[in-house]
């Protein structure tokens, strides 16, 4: 399971969710996306990540190196959450659902 560069139809016209210029933009094949922007509307840099259908989380930074380092840490930390998301037809769906919610809460606490 891997991350790959996100390829929108018209990258030249696209700005990020924080109105910045997209520097990095990746999508995980299971169903997540993470982006790094610069020159955002409220901060020099922003990292926004989301797990499709579950959550979106944005962090702001003043330094490029820190934003890039945190982008990598966040990207890696999303993978175990993605891999734990249950299918509705699984016999132990509810405990896995509860665990996914707890994992997302822990992710947001780790990356405030």
Residue-wise pLDDT for 78-89, tens only, equals 999 999 999 999
Average pLDDT over residues 18-40: 96
Higher pLDDT among residues 25 and 11, named by residue:
25
- Closest among 34, 31, 32 to 23, alpha carbons compared: 34
pLDDT tens per residue, range 14-28:
789 999 999 999 999
* Per-chain mean pLDDT for the chain: 94
Higher pLDDT among residues 107 and 7, named by residue:
107
Tell me the pTM.
0.92
- Closest among 69, 58, 9, 2 to 31, alpha carbons compared: 2
Average pLDDT over residues 59-80: 98
């Amino acid at each position: 399971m891997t991350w790959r560069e996100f390829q929108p139809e018209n990258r030249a016209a696209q700005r990020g969710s924080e109105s910045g210029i997209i520097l990095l933009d990746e999508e995980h094949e299971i169903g997540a996306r993470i982006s790094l922007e610069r020159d955002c509307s409220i901060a020099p840099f922003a990292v926004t990540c989301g797990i499709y259908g579950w959550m979106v989380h944005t962090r702001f930074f003043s330094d490029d190196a820190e934003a890039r380092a945190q982008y990598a840490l966040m990207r890696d930390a999303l993978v175990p959450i993605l891999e734990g998301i249950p299918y509705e037809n699984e016999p132990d769906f509810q405990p896995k659902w509860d665990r996914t919610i707890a994992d997302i809460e822990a992710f947001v606490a780790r990356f405030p």
